Amino acid sequence: MANHGYCGVLLSLTLLSLAIHVSFCFPEINGDNKGSPRTTTDKGKRWAVLVAGSSGYDNYRHQADICHAYQILKKGGLKDENIIVFMYDDIAYNSENPRKGVIINKPNGHDVYKGVPKDYTGDHVNARNLYAVILGDKSALTGGSGKVLSSGPNDHVFIYYADHGSVGLLGMPSDYVYAKDLIRVLQKKHASKGYKSMVFYIEACEAGSMFEGLLSSNLNIYATTASNAEESSYGTYCPGDPSVPEEFDTCLGDLYSISWMEDCDISDLHKETLENQYETVRRRTTNSHVMQYGDMSHKQEFLFAYMGTDLSNRSHTSTSDISSPSISRAVDQRDTKLLYFQQKLKRAPTGSQEKQGAQKQLLLEIAHRKTVDYSITKLGEVLFGHEKSSNVLMNVRPQGQPVVDNWDCFKNFLNIYEKYCGHLSAYGMKYTRAIANICNAGITTEKMVAASDQTCANKPNV
């Protein structure tokens, strides 16, 4: 009897010892330890969604950025079936591209276009398809390859978006991605256990407004943006930079984007954390404030968890391949189109039709800017009076507060403005804060329609 008791105690101690041993042998993989570098294992799959939301040769840099990102992920070991690419695909074989079929993302850079999947191109690059892809909803797609983010609860997801942006939205060739809509999609993806953790990088003007006061820390999403909620982001490797080949009339990349990608090109992503990269990019992106949002516990995860890594491809790369910020010319994203037309005019032969065409394009762009400036100013004066207008339209809310209270109003009023006054364009997008503030001021739909009609009744064709 005593012997049986002794054996029972011995068995209990053995089992307890085994339980302790097991708990130390296997790292935690639940949410309680989600920020630890040791949880960035290969148990789950890596997925990526890459989005260039613009079209036109003057926006060369956005598709160049996306193509470069694809090459990093591909070399890192991600399969094409797990990389979903949105790009209008009108750059590589554009008549203005001096290197047909080739896209570069830096002076003397390699071709980053080769091999890039053409999942969603042309008119299929739109907000509805993007939301459907993120949610893994094939039934909601219109055109494209049909690839969606079929990620599961153990998977790591990386989303990178490069385009023009403004307060509360990101551009698409034919529509907009609104911050509140994007957040709802991400919340739905999280609720469906569609990922273990997600990293989201955005290159755009006022990109911080997509997450400011909107991205909660409980979604397991860590995000960084090229700019805060009230400033432009910047193109780089632009015409006029001595290092940029003379045949290029447009910027080859964006400063925030090439900062993180060129860092990936030379770094061991097994050893570099998301926080390390954020600090590197923040130091190099001197013209705007690189921001971070969401679940900060993920900052200590290693980049390879999202982007993979292939050390053999980095052995012949040196830090000299990264251009110094003091050498690279940075241009406000909203001025890159103006620079493009100026460069075309400068390069065209004197007295040629090409010269005349470039001059006409430049003058039309300048006239469009003046028209937009005038219409927004007048709209504010019609609604609020001359003295109060500027203060109301340009009001900036405190950090941490969304730019608008009523997102349906914001979308509705922007549609009303564009119906009566014409498409805002990349330059005019700088005024979406004004539209948001009109909503915040409590203006009714009827008043907005009447004021827009009065403001732009005799508008030129913009």
Per-residue pLDDT of 427-451, as tens digits, reads 999 999 999 999 999 999 999 999 9
> How many structural domains is the chain composed of?
2
Is 29 part of a structural domain of the chain?
A: no
Domain match, 159 and 56 both: yes
Q: pLDDT tens digits for 7-19? A: 443 334 343 343 3
pLDDT band at 312 (very low <50, low <70, confident <90, very high): low
Q: pLDDT tens digits for 32-82? A: 334 344 334 457 999 999 999 999 999 999 999 999 999 999 999 999 999
Beta strands in 175-251 (DSSP E): 176-178, 197-203, 221-225, 234-236
Domain match, 159 and 92 both: yes
Active site residues: 164, 205
Domain match, 412 and 299 both: no
The rounded distance, in Å, linking the Cα atoms of 235 and 200 is: 20
Domain match, 220 and 120 both: yes
Calculate the average pLDDT of the chain: 89
Task: Provide the residue range defining the domain that includes 227.
Answer: 46-313
C-alpha to C-alpha distances, 232 to 39, 255, 307, 346, 385, nearest whole angstrom: 36, 11, 27, 26, 28
Is 1 part of a structural domain of the chain?
A: no
Domain match, 307 and 359 both: no
CATH of the domain at 449: 1.10.132.130
pLDDT computed for residue 329 by the predictor = 80
Domain match, 298 and 365 both: no
Domain match, 304 and 364 both: no
Q: pLDDT tens digits for 229-249? A: 999 999 999 998 999 999 999
Is 41 part of a structural domain of the chain?
A: no
Domain match, 449 and 301 both: no
Instruction: Give the single-character DSSP code of 339.
Output: H
Domain match, 77 and 180 both: yes
**Listed residues 262, 290, 313: the one ending a domain:** 313
**Listed residues 313, 330, 361: the one ending a domain:** 313
Is 31 part of a structural domain of the chain?
A: no
pLDDT computed for residue 240 by the predictor = 87
The rounded distance, in Å, linking the Cα atoms of 158 and 303 is: 10
- Percent of the chain past pLDDT 70, that is, above it, reads 86
Q: Which two tokens stand for residue 285?
A: 């992106």
Say whether pLDDT at 28 is over 60.
no
Is 413 part of a structural domain of the chain?
A: yes
Q: Which two tokens stand for residue 245?
A: 């080949």
Domain match, 234 and 184 both: yes
**Does residue 160 sit in helix, strand or coil?**
strand
More confident site: 234 or 23: 234
pLDDT computed for residue 43 by the predictor = 78
Is 243 part of a structural domain of the chain?
A: yes
Instruction: Print the SS3 string covering 96-154.
Output: CCCCCCCCCCCCCCCCCCCCCCCCECHHHCCHHHHHHHHHCCHHHCCCCCCCCCCCCCC
pLDDT band at 228 (very low <50, low <70, confident <90, very high): very high
Is 155 part of a structural domain of the chain?
A: yes
Domain match, 263 and 387 both: no
Q: pLDDT tens digits for 199-220? A: 999 999 999 999 999 999 999 9
CATH of the domain at 149: 3.40.50.1460
pLDDT computed for residue 3 by the predictor = 46
Domain match, 224 and 122 both: yes
Instruction: Summarize the confidence of residues 299-303 as an average pLDDT.
Output: 97
**Does residue 170 sit in helix, strand or coil?**
strand
Say whether pLDDT at 167 is over 60.
yes
Strands 291-294 and 221-225 come out as antiparallel
**Burial track 153-180 (b if 16+ CB lie within 10 A, e otherwise):** eebbbbbbbbbbbbbbbbbbbeebbbbb
Is 343 part of a structural domain of the chain?
A: no
Q: Report yes or no: 455 and 420 within 8 Å, Cβ to Cβ.
A: yes
**Listed residues 313, 333, 357: the one ending a domain:** 313
Say whether pLDDT at 159 is over 50.
yes
**Does residue 186 sit in helix, strand or coil?**
helix
The sign of the dihedral angle between the CA atoms of 202, 206, 208, 209 is negative
More confident site: 311 or 419: 419
